Amino acid sequence: MRHILFMTALTATAAAEPARFNYDESKVPPYSLPDPLRSAAGAAISSKEAWIGGLREETRQLIEREMFGKAPARPKLNFKVEEEATPALNGKVRRKQIAVSLSGKAEGPFMDMLLYVPAGATGPVPVLFGLNFQGNQAVSRDPGIHLCRSWLREDVKGGIVQNKATEASRGLQADSWQIEYATSRGYGVMTACYCDIDPDFHDEWKNGVHALFPEIEAKRDGATWGAIAAWAWGMSLGIDYLEREPLADAKRVIAQGHSRLGKTALWAGASDTRFALVISNDSGAGGAALNKRIFGETVGRLNSAFPHWFCGNFKKYSDKEGDMAFDSHQIIALIAPRPVLITSATKDLWADPKGEFLGGLHANPVYKLLGTDGMTAEEQPLPDKLIDSTIGYFLRTGEHDVTKADWEAYLNFADKHLPKP
């Protein structure tokens, strides 16, 4: 297979993670990236038809088998409207709450979805859909949101508890969701807690959706799905619902996520072409950042700290990223020609902002083959400047987080790139 060779020569430092990880650009080793327009057999393609009709699926299957794992078919949609559209947030929005069955059975278990749309909307609106970390009640100070009834992260270090959502948790992550701002711009916002789908700890696949497929778990091998594939599977189930929802324009749904859920948004968008646009914030290694750069978090660290996120096959690349026959630019290329926005933060070197930019840049050949402008920036831009080409990029000043500045970039990018109704 032909590869593209890269060398680096800049310097960066970081103090947030252990010293054994690299934050120095001069110490990034030489690395090669697979050509996204060349098959495993070495054949180059030069037409849209060859990508759409063959190489795209070959690439998707490779990444599915070696990184995320294969998800089962989703069940037939079964849902309960637990609250019809109700005025909320001082009448600025309408709030709707829906329980979507993960098993396809009326008794659940359920993914509890929270949907906000602008109060003045006269028709279906585009929707930003992303999973949250702490339960729906944490995304807004709205007292009408039902408390999360599933597993929850107890603290930012990742401790997991069950059924511990309290009134005190309302609005804990409201600043990261900017619901009133997004709806004032004409967008709907939908979310569900990622632990509704699969709790974020290594439980030997005994909880969450994995437990609903005993026939799969009984034959678990290196290509069986991990938690990120499960969360992405749940996001696709959310689109299944939105296709029935009169308040939402199901042809203009945006997959968005932060950190591990930024990785999830990328894989959801790569796996399900119904997402019209994808936004990945601070997704780092295993997300938008090139794994082969060996900067900040590494594949080895991902697999040791979070052994449940990826499939078993991905573990063979721990500290052996050079053996990978794929990298993040090919995950991003699977989204083509749909728009994708990659966002980073200047102080989040653990997530490798430059590597995230390069992940987008090196998806360019596929995007351009399919008739788009791809990524128009050739170098990582200065902070707080939105690159709004079809592969977009935004480097925010600050830490690993989601802020109003990020949401402004999200919506400005969506204003330009979402299909018109």
> Which residues have a catalytic role annotated?
259, 400
**Residue 40: strand, helix, or coil:** coil
Query: What single string gives the DSSP state of each residue in 42-68?
Result: S-B--SHHHIIIIIHHHHHHHHIIIII
How does strand 3-6 pair with strand 31-34? antiparallel
Q: Which of 286, 281, 284, 306 is nearest to 296 (CA)?
A: 284
Q: Which of 115, 121, 111 is nearest to 85 (CA)?
A: 115
Q: Answer whether 331's CB lies under 8 Å from 266's CB.
A: yes
Residue 39 CA to residue 332 CA, distance in Å, equals 17
Residue 129 CA to residue 114 CA, distance in Å, equals 10
What tokens appear for 95 in the block?
A: 């709030």
Q: Which of 331, 227, 362 is nearest to 269 (CA)?
A: 331
Residue 98 CA to residue 240 CA, distance in Å, equals 13
Helix (H) or strand (E) holding 162: strand 160-162
**Residue 403: strand, helix, or coil:** coil
Burial of 45 (0-12, 13-18, 19+ CB in 10 A): buried
| Alpha-carbon distances of 315 from 94, 126, 265, 312, 319, rounded to whole Å | 45, 38, 21, 6, 9
How does strand 340-345 pair with strand 391-396? parallel
How does strand 248-258 pair with strand 277-281? parallel
Helix (H) or strand (E) holding 17: none
Instruction: Report the chain's C-alpha Rg in angstroms.
Output: 20
- Helix, strand, coil % over all residues of the chain, rounded to 5: 35, 20, 45
Residue 11 CA to residue 357 CA, distance in Å, equals 16
